Structure 1
């Protein structure tokens, strides 16, 4: 694994570096050289950190990742307190860079502590046998859907304002959407716990029983427990986020006062919290589909998500401020309903798909 990680890291670093350099001398040509170098460094570091997160997540190092992020971003805040008064904007970006340097150093220390290899780099990871283009489409469309509505608000004439160079922001939309994503932390934490315990445990038990020739009664029990784990996980996340939404509706005005934001943002905060909560449910469904290797379903849902988000957000921007935020909420609601429908369909046909559509794989694994 380690040689493959080095190969991916090298390709990502070169790609990010080349793209960053092009942007430095085109889109950000009017900025001072210090700012451009710091932005380039930050961009390359972020790309490397994503590779490290994916690698560490694959070996279930969740607590270590959390601790590293606390140290990295905590350090960035401390650096900013000292550097911002003296260097201004460049001091803030420099603090961001220093925090990420600490973060990636910690990640690599953890990686090299858990992995050893005599070979430094291997290009086998790019072999066509290990290519999964559907997952590439899933990653692109899911994250594009997450950001597309924000980008539309940033660059729409009546909602966006230029910040630095080609970068824009939407002071109407950015504040409530940021607070709404903080509100989904309880649901996200529970989701990770539920998926990594109940569902995965019974999922592995079901297919172990299939491969080892378990009794039909045992298979049915494992199948029922797996389905119950998914349904319970979705229900619990829905319940937790429902409570959060109710709290935002009840105390949202006080929260806005607390952080120094106008109460005129309250309607957006409410609908954005609903949207973000739906996104947690969508993420739960996507992860379950990926565990059971339903890449095509996830790809369809992800493509639909980005298309609907772009379309519905554009419509709400045209209608006016009273509908802002509803486009993202509606697109999230549609894909969550479809994901639940697909899940129910899959579990109702689980035994048929397992025995009739994968006979060769089962015989091979049993032998």
Structure 2
């Protein structure tokens, strides 16, 4: 992603306000656009369904069912994909570094087969026995498989160059999905809306896969070394799963607690908590844009200075200078994030009572909204910190930090549930506060020992 940031920084060369706005706009779209488009599409479909309740069908509350089922689908596809995304991303990076472009497409075909088989084995039985009618369960499963393939394709397309076509594909496929969902709901009720939106996501997955074929042509049908590589990097698989589980585990606990309610079969929701966190996550888009355009690019430059000194035979002064530059860039990055996203979050916390009314929440829900806003900001910081851990290949530390976050989120959320709905969201916030503090301490100590980490822990031939 740093490479994307460097290309976007060329837009800033003219030093005009227009170029500044364009650079940050592109950065926001690339960093959060796919997720933002998907959420806006779901909101539009939900609004239409709420305004047109007279469609045919027997579902008691199709709006709730559609929203809850798609939330489970998104959560499940992210958790499943997280088990291989980190390893596949590392594999692609190694291939690109070695200029072995012919291995990218076979790796996609192999990893796509793995994801679809995992989805069939894990998600297929779950949807089959979830309590949904057969047609709706099949539509939800189609959506699940399509999204799983989409998340995987985005890992590969981060190395592509046709970003305009990729964004256009997202816009077009989501527009088609919304239209099909609206038409499907009008004529086939809940089954139609699930099938229509799922078909739109299927078209998106096909489009992104085709873009990979165009960007990385190859004559080899599969990549035999990928599975061995993923097994060798199984810590990355554990890291991806545990971190994503940490993000979702508080939602699962709240949904399946007395504070949640049953929607249909195994599907449950908690409207207040879901609405607060959904809005809170939307507010972190500026942080994602700043990180992509400014933070990661600045860090990568200084990271390269250090490792160029190491690999090119620099003396101790050059190595220490590179290390100092890394520390300076991280301090500057923290200041940039606090000055941008920190101020935005603070303003939103102050204006939370107004936003609660806009979102249809009561005054009693304002504390949950405020805690959610702060927690979303801290979660973005924790994600950025984990990215820096992986730059140095500190996989064990990143896995320990993710495990701490997941366990703390589960424990603290359960304690907050026991205290009642007035404490809803505090567990998530405290888990992030503790995890971020522990992560900063771990990172600072490891950075102080960077020369030792670089030289003394390398495997040496005898």
In the superposition, the TM-score normalised over structure 2's length comes to 0.73
What residue number does 1:110 align with?
211
Shift of 1:102: 2.7
Residue of structure 1 in register with 2:240 after alignment? 139
Deviation of 1:292 (Å): 0.6
Q: Which residue of 1 aligns with 2:304?
A: 204
- Contact 2:272–2:361, Cα closer than 8 Å, also in 1: no
Residue in structure 2 matching 1:69, options 139, 160, 170: 170
Aligned 8 A contact 1:238 1:281 in 2: no
Residue 82 of structure 1 is matched in structure 2 by 183
* Secondary structure at the counterpart of residue 88 of structure 1: helix
User: Which one of the candidate residues 335, 355, 374 is aligned to 1:235?
Assistant: 335
TM-score, normalisation: structure 1: 0.90
Q: Does 1:152 align with 2:253?
A: yes
Q: Which SS does the other structure have where 2:351 is aligned?
A: helix
Asked whether the equivalents of residues 250 and 409 of structure 2 are also in contact (C-alpha less than 8 Å), the reply is yes
C-alpha separation in 2, matches of 1:63 and 1:280: 26
Pairwise CA distance, 1:130? 5.3
- Where relative contact order (Cα < 8 A, 6+ residues apart) is larger, the structure is 2
Alpha carbons 2:413, 2:428 under 8 Å: kept: yes
Instruction: Work out which of the residue numbers 21, 24, 27 in structure 1 matches 2:130.
Output: 27
Q: Which moved more, 1:216-225 or 1:39-48?
A: 216-225
The yes-or-no answer on 1:345 pairing with 2:448 is no
RMSD: 2.3
Counterpart in the other structure of 1:214? 314
What stretches of structure 1 of length at least 5 have no aligned partner? none
Deviation at 1:73, TM superposition (A): 2.7
- Could you say what secondary structure the match of 1:214 adopts? coil
Partner SS for 1:95: helix
**Residues in 1 aligned to 2:172 and 2:296: alpha-carbon distance in whole angstroms:** 25
CA distance in 2, matches of 1:129, 1:111: 20
Correspondence for 2:45? none
Equivalent positions of 1:176-325 (< 5 A) are 176-325=276-425
Say whether residues 1:11 and 2:111 are aligned partners. no
Gaps of 5+ in 2: 1-103
> Is the Cα contact below 8 Å between 1:253 and 1:263 reproduced in 2?
yes
Q: C-alpha deviations, 1:85-139, integer Å up to 9, x for none?
A: 3322223212321221232122112211111211111232111685212112211
Aligned with 2:380: secondary structure? helix
Cα–Cα, structure 1 residues 250 and 321, in superposed 2: closer, same or farther, change >3 Å? Answer: same
Residue 194 of structure 1: how far off its partner (Å): 3.2
SS in 1 for 2:417: helix
Q: After superposition, what is the alpha-carbon deviation per residue over 1:282-332, rounded to whole angstroms, capped at 9, x for unaligned?
A: 001100001110001001111111111111111111112222111010010
The alpha-carbon deviation at position 233 of structure 1 amounts to 1.8
Q: Equivalent residue for 2:149? A: 48
- SS of alignment partner, residue 261 of structure 1: coil
Give the equivalent residue in structure 1 for 2:221.
120
